[in-house]
Structure 1
Amino acid sequence: MERIARQLLAKCFGRPSGPLGRLGGRLMAHGNAATERHAVILAAPAEQDVVLVVGPGPGVGLAAAAERSAHVIGIEPSDVMLAMARRRCAPLIRRGRLRLSPGTAARTGQPDASVDVVISVNNLQLWPDVPAALAELHRVLRPGGRLLLSVREKWLPSGLSALAAMIHAAGFDTVRTWTWHPPTRMAPAAAQLSAIRTPRP
């Protein structure tokens, strides 16, 4: 029974697929919206910044990023989520402000030092190899580029300090951590972290 429950949760939220994935996408669009928009505000992308959104799901945060930056890339492993994000963000895609492609945090498909800002909301807990993913995000960020991660606090059993240590180990600098409480009643506390890829001397 527990195995079946895990499989259903994976189809809804882990790597959404089929009707359950579409249901999960609708739930995520509602439940994650405040945190995703807040993450974009914190990351503060400028119009000319290249922004990489990792695991944008149904595209709420992706749309918020593309309203600020004219160069947004969304990478998502789920075909269902890619389709939902394309529908939600269709006007921004047509205007050339946004492009979507399959990918993961560990395999972004982006060139070295090609991105100014990386944003990830509520998917770090799904990364199979967190150090490999952080190394990849460090690779694609330009020197001085910034990383903004947000994940539900309950999904970080080792806490923010352990995650901060991993970020430092991946080569990032100026690592800051804090907890944020979304303004919606049902949304749990978010553990958030910002960091900078060390500029070249």
Structure 2
Amino acid sequence: MESITRQLLTKGFGRPSGLLGRLGGRLMAHGNAATERHVVTLAAPSEQDVVLVIGPGPGVGLAAAAGRSAHVIGIDPSDVIRAMARRRCASPIARGRLHLAPGTAARTGRPDASVDIVIAVNNVQLWPDVPAALADLHRVLRPGGRILLAAHEKWLPAGLATLASTVLAAGFTSVRTWTWEPPSRMAPTAALLSAVRR
């Protein structure tokens, strides 16, 4: 039974595919929207900042980031999710403000020191190897670049303190954690973390 549940979660949210992936994408668009927009507001990218969005789901946060920066990259391993994000973000893609590519947090495919801001909303708990992912994100960030992570608090069983320790061990500084209550009743409490690449 546990493996069936795990498969359903993977096909719906972890690595969305097929009908479950499309359903998961719709749920993400509603359940994560307020947190995604909030994290982009906190990141406050400038027009010139290069923003890397990890696991952008159906594109709500991508659209918000592309409204502020002319250099947004969204990476996701799921063809289904990238297609949903492509439809939602057709205008910034057409204007060259947004690029979508396959990839994961641990394999972004971006050059060293090429990104100013990394954002990941509600997927750090799905990364198979969090230290490896943080190592790659540290690599792609420029010195002084920032990372902002958010997840439903209830989906971080080890808690924010453990995540903060892992982020520190990856070479980040100025690590800060807090929680935020989204205005939507559908969205649970968000656990947030920000840090700086030294």
**TM-score bracket for this pair, using the shorter chain length:** over 0.9
Give the TM-score, by structure 2 length.
0.98
In the alignment, which residue of structure 2 is the partner of 1:111?
111
In the alignment, which residue of structure 1 is the partner of 2:168?
168
- Report % sequence identity: 79
- Deviation readout 1:49-71 (Å, 9 max, x if unpaired): 00000000100001100000000
How far is 1:175 from its partner?
0.6
Inter-partner Cα distance in structure 1 for 2:151 and 2:14: 14
Give the TM-score, by structure 1 length.
0.97
In the alignment, which residue of structure 1 is the partner of 2:92?
92
SS at structure 2 position matched to 1:68: coil
* AA partner of residue 164 (structure 2): A
Question: What RMSD, in angstroms, separates the aligned Cα atoms of the two structures?
Answer: 0.8
In the alignment, which residue of structure 2 is the partner of 1:122?
122
In the alignment, which residue of structure 1 is the partner of 2:22?
22
How far is 1:81 from its partner?
0.2
How far is 1:14 from its partner?
1.3
How far is 1:10 from its partner?
1.5
* AA partner of residue 99 (structure 1): H
Structure 1 segments unaligned to the other structure (5+ residues): none
Structure 2 segments unaligned to the other structure (5+ residues): none
Inter-partner Cα distance in structure 2 for 1:166 and 1:2: 28
* AA partner of residue 160 (structure 2): L
In the alignment, which residue of structure 2 is the partner of 1:2?
2
How far is 1:2 from its partner?
3.3
SS at structure 1 position matched to 2:67: helix
Inter-partner Cα distance in structure 1 for 2:24 and 2:174: 35
How far is 1:88 from its partner?
0.5
Inter-partner Cα distance in structure 1 for 2:58 and 2:14: 13
Inter-partner Cα distance in structure 2 for 1:100 and 1:170: 26
SS at structure 1 position matched to 2:175: strand
* Count of matched residue positions in the alignment of Structure 1 and Structure 2: 198
